[in-house]
């Protein structure tokens, strides 16, 4: 028996699909579970934002559960299934042999001015930004000093997060098979006095990025995906590709570049459905 946990956003369409899944599961080898049990599958209904929320809410299950995203708006980067494909989805769930595709996550270690540490996982990105004035941050890669950044903030994104905020900041779109973090600037100051690399940079999985905040006046805010932490007196942020990754059921995966085309260009009316492996 395979177990399922459903996470739907509060849009009527998503609620309707949640109920349809509950009805279709009756009398099958699938069983719904509550959040007190580890599910085989976590089905999200909504958009990429819904999947991000489910990831953070059920992070404790990420080693054992596989995610499946049903989109009730547009095709997303984490959401493959359309609402009219529930019967196919149910069949796949009953037949699947457990194959999954995994995407890298970012591990974020926050250290406050009292040297207290907090570790978080992000699916899209970690952003450090000023709440007032210019931030001054020393950027170290693998403990080597690279530059002193002055500006609004810095964004460190995962490959799947590269199509989110990172892209709006001028970062590259990274295929999820490339295990690297991308560092992009948010309104960096560059003139004859202050200088940074300015280009987005890719950091491989055996290296890490350390951001040392040089001045508390900017009142730094940390954003991890859709979550904001504005009350930490932050001293430094260390990020690397996490040991853990997020797993998606592999029986359906829209080709990554097809998602990119659909999200940003929309030239085609149909989606080529391919195995992602």
List of residues contacting ligand NAP (CB under 6 A): 47-49, 52, 73, 76-77, 124-125, 160-161, 163-165, 168, 225-226
For residues 73 and 83, which CB has a smaller minimum distance to ligand NAP in the complex?
73
The Cα–Cα gap between 155 and 169 comes to 9
Residue 167 CB, shortest distance to ligand NAP, in Å, is 6
Indicate the pairing of strand 234-249 with strand 273-274: unpaired
For residues 30 and 122, which CB has a smaller minimum distance to ligand NAP in the complex?
122
For residues 40 and 200, which CB has a smaller minimum distance to ligand NAP in the complex?
200
* Cβ contact 133:155 at 8 Å: no
Q: Tell me the H-state helices in the chain.
A: 12-25, 48-57, 86-95, 165-168, 256-264
For residues 94 and 187, which CB has a smaller minimum distance to ligand NAP in the complex?
187
Note if 48 is an active site residue.
yes
Residue 103 CB, shortest distance to ligand NAP, in Å, is 10
Residue 225 CB, shortest distance to ligand NAP, in Å, is 4
Residue 55 CB, shortest distance to ligand NAP, in Å, is 11
Distance of CA 31 to the CA centre of its chain: 27
Catalytic residue among 48, 80, 152, 262: 48
Residue 177 CB, shortest distance to ligand NAP, in Å, is 16
Nearest position to ligand NAP, beta carbon = 164
List, in sequence order, every beta strand (DSSP E) within 178-225: 180-188, 201-204, 209-213, 221-224
Q: What is the dihedral of CA 110, 115, 118, 119, to 10 degrees?
A: 60
The Cα–Cα gap between 81 and 88 comes to 10
Judged on CB neighbours under 10 Å (0-12, 13-18, 19+), 20 is middle
For residues 30 and 166, which CB has a smaller minimum distance to ligand NAP in the complex?
166
Query: Which residues are identified as catalytic?
Result: 48
């Amino acid at each position: 028996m395979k177990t399922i946990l459903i996470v739907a956003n509060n849009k009527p369409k998503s609620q309707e699909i949640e109920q349809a899944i509950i009805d279709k599961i009756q009398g099958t080898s699938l069983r719904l579970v509550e959040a007190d049990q580890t599910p085989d599958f976590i089905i999200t209904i909504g958009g990429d934002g819904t999947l991000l929320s489910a990831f953070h809410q059920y992070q404790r299950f990420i080693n054992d559960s596989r995610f499946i995203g049903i989109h009730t708006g547009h095709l997303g980067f984490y959401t493959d299934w359309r609402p009219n494909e529930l019967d196919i989805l149910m069949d796949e769930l009953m037949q699947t042999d457990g194959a999954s595709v995994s995407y890298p996550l970012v591990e974020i270690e926050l250290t406050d001015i009292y040297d207290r540490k907090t570790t978080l996982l992000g699916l899209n990105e970690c952003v450090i930004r000023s709440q007032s004035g210019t931030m001054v941050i020393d950027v170290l890669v693998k403990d080597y000093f690279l530059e002193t950044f002055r500006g609004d903030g810095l964004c460190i994104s995962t490959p799947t997060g590269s199509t989110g905020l990172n892209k709006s900041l001028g970062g590259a779109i990274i295929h999820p098979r490339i295990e690297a973090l991308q560092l992009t600037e948010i309104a960096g100051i560059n003139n004859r006095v202050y200088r940074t690399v300015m280009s987005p940079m890719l950091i491989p999985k055996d290296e890490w990025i350390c951001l040392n905040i040089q001045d508390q006046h900017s009142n730094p805010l940390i954003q991890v995906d859709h979550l904001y932490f504005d009350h930490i007196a932050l001293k430094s942020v260390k990020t690397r590709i996490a040991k853990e990754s997020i797993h998606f059921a592999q029986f359906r995966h829209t080709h990554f570049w097809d998602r990119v085309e659909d999200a940003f260009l929309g030239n085609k009316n149909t989606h080529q459905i391919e195995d992602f492996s």
